[in-house]
Amino acid sequence: MNTHPPFRITLAQINPTLGDIAGNILLMQAAADTAVAEGASLVIFPELSLTGYYPADLLDEPAFLARVEQGVAELLACTRATPGLHWVVGAPMSWQGPGKHLQDCLLVMADGELRLRYAKQLLPTYNIFDERRHFEPGPDVAKVLRIGAMQIGFLICEDGWNDAGREYAVNPFERLADAAPDLVVTINASPSNIGKREQRHALFTAASARHGLPLVYVNQVGGHDQLVFDGASFAVQPEAGVVFEAQRFCADIQTLGFVQGRFVSAAGEALPAVSHEGLPAMEFYRRQIVLGLRDYARRCGFKRAVVGSSGGIDSALTLALATEALGAENVVGVTMPSRFSSAGSVDDSADLCRNLGIRLIEHPIRDLVTQYAKGFEEAFATALQGLTLENLQARIRGTILMEYSNAFGNLLLTTGNKSEISVGYCTLYGDTNGGLGLIGDLYKTEVFALCRHLNASAGRELIPQAIIDKEPSAELAPGQKDIDSLPPYPVLDVILKQLIEGPRLAGKERVEVEREYASQLGSESGQALIARIKKMIARNEYKRRQAPPILRLRDRAFGSGRQMPIAAHVDF
């Protein structure tokens, strides 16, 4: 029987704020205190935990870099207060060699000394990542450190993602395996999207098994502009796969024991089994959006939000999610009926806000539209009609909402979904006004599904069934319906998923989309529809470029994850 106490490791899944070095150090100190209390020898923080991920062009600012250097010195001083505890932290560090003047580094500190420095070797420049913009890759060497009786090896995020050897010429994981550590520690800032948890588990389970190395994976959590990090830090054993997982979408400090190559609880007991099943898609979307909004508002100094309530499903879902994230007392809906607004839409807005417990303010725009139309005709000698009149209504509403935001300090949330944003079914400087889009990475069919999920989870109608059942309409012209301008959303969404995401779609969804897309290609009318949708996507890039940030939910979201030119002729 083994009588030796386990080697204890604290996984510090923290929620750092970009640029808030003092605040991030406080988070690390608190986690280190927990580690000491639980008898840990090692406390592990996420990638770039000192600055938050990703600092972007803050890294070009000399004053910021000076503050980073000071922060590293402060961390070293902090470690003197935790004798024997090794802190694994992430920080940008200066580099005196050729190329960029910074490296993305993992630092091991203990008792006021820097015990190890490891520079990230693989710097991603795809999708949302642009690390090579600021960092120079580290050398192709393994870094290990003996802590007590344990030989620990270290990696940083992307360094562990190339074990199949498909993306880069070097494989840091294989090089580290050659050094034969007892345990691998990898620090990460891995943004969340649908299917990402399962992807991480599969990749690191395979790498652990291939090299016969147990590992701990520590990820950051929190919303940072468009990106949301879900945490979900985990531990892997070669023969068993993932044997521990931290909480998702919240900070979580957990201490594990490690004895004879196996992870146990801090008390040395067996760990509960980890479910292979992730969150259902709709619950994942819900939690990601709620955390993303909550952190965005907090970090930008907003306590309250305002949403234009049209009586339609997009604004209804936005209001429901905002209420969950910020509290009913901090969310306001504004209904702005015009002469084209149906009585049902106004009533539906009232029912929705009553169900959510939020305030609804009515600000009719009929007279404003009339005055604009009169002034337009007097100035330009032509009647205000058609698309110009439709867009005017949206822009008046957008102006009123911005007035409210300016006057009362509420964050204006936009309500466009991915289907409509893709094809430009939105008005620049109108319904695109605002500071953040919550549902801009949800296709319209997913908007309906998430509304049903929220109602089912609540056990009552948060979102009135009348809103879910009504045919979508912008209500900017008599009898207007979305289907007058667009194909049915189930058809449109399949085409959009294939054109925008394609091979980035995961698993079952990819199979279904490819099958239905092939069916469209099988007819002349389907081919014509696809060609039309391609042109609409390309033609409306200028709108997306000027839209507010959108919380990223899927592997390829609009924003930094999909960079397309505006002034281009697309003929393919």
Structural domains of the chain in order of their starting residue, each with its CATH number: 7-264 (3.60.110.10), 283-412+430-482 (3.40.50.620)
Q: Looking at residue 474, what is its pLDDT?
A: 61
Are 220 and 200 contacting, i.e. CB atoms less than 8 angstroms apart? no
Q: Is the pLDDT of residue 341 over 90?
A: no
Nearest to 102, CA basis, from 129, 138, 141, 127: 138
Percent of the chain with pLDDT over 90: 90
Reported as type and span, the H/E element at residue 221 is: strand 221-224
How long is the chain? Answer: 572
Q: Is the pLDDT of residue 40 over 50?
A: yes
User: What are the backbone angles phi and psi of residue 262, rounded to the nearest 5°?
Assistant: -125, 145
Q: Looking at residue 165, what is its pLDDT?
A: 80
pLDDT category at 476 given cuts 50, 70, 90 is low
In the residue annotation, 426 being an active-site residue is answered as: no
Helix axes 366-380, 386-408, angle to 10 degrees: 120
Q: Is the pLDDT of residue 480 over 70?
A: no
Average pLDDT for residues 27-37, to the nearest whole number? 98
235 beta partners: 216, 244
**Measured between alpha carbons, how far is 227 from 54 in angstroms, rounded to an integer?**
10
Selected residue with higher pLDDT from 562 and 483: 562
Q: Is the pLDDT of residue 172 over 60?
A: yes
Are 463 and 451 contacting, i.e. CB atoms less than 8 angstroms apart? yes
Active-site hit among 38, 47, 158, 446 = 47
Active-site hit among 38, 78, 105, 120 = 120
**Locus of tokens 């891995």:** 190
In the residue annotation, 524 being an active-site residue is answered as: no
pTM for this one?
A: 0.95
User: Residue 415 is encoded by which pair of tokens?
Assistant: 């309500």
Q: Looking at residue 197, what is its pLDDT?
A: 96
Q: Looking at residue 47, what is its pLDDT?
A: 98
Q: Is the pLDDT of residue 572 over 70?
A: no
Selected residue with higher pLDDT from 330 and 470: 330
Average pLDDT for residues 423-452, to the nearest whole number? 96
In the residue annotation, 501 being an active-site residue is answered as: no
Q: Is the pLDDT of residue 357 over 70?
A: yes
Q: Is the pLDDT of residue 48 over 90?
A: yes
Selected residue with higher pLDDT from 257 and 473: 257
| Residue 378 CB contacts under 8 Å (≥ 6 apart), including other chains | none
Give one DSSP letter per residue of 116-167, joined into a string. EEEE------STT--GGGT-PPPPS---EEEETTEEEEEEEGGGGTTTTSSS
Q: Is the pLDDT of residue 475 over 70?
A: no
Average pLDDT for residues 463-485, to the nearest whole number? 78
Active-site hit among 157, 353, 426, 451 = 157
| Residue 439 CB contacts under 8 Å (≥ 6 apart), including other chains | 289, 314, 317, 318, 321, 415, 416, 417, 418, 447, 450
In this predicted model, what pLDDT tens digit does every residue of 514-564 receive, in sequence order? 999 999 999 999 999 999 999 999 999 999 999 999 999 999 999 989 999
pLDDT category at 42 given cuts 50, 70, 90 is very high
Q: What is the mean pLDDT of the chain?
A: 94
Q: Looking at residue 346, what is its pLDDT?
A: 86
In this predicted model, what pLDDT tens digit does every residue of 278-312 receive, in sequence order? 899 999 999 999 999 999 999 999 999 999 999 99
Q: Looking at residue 345, what is its pLDDT?
A: 78
Q: Looking at residue 1, what is its pLDDT?
A: 43
Direct distance between the N- and C-terminal alpha carbons of the chain, in angstroms, rounded to an integer: 69
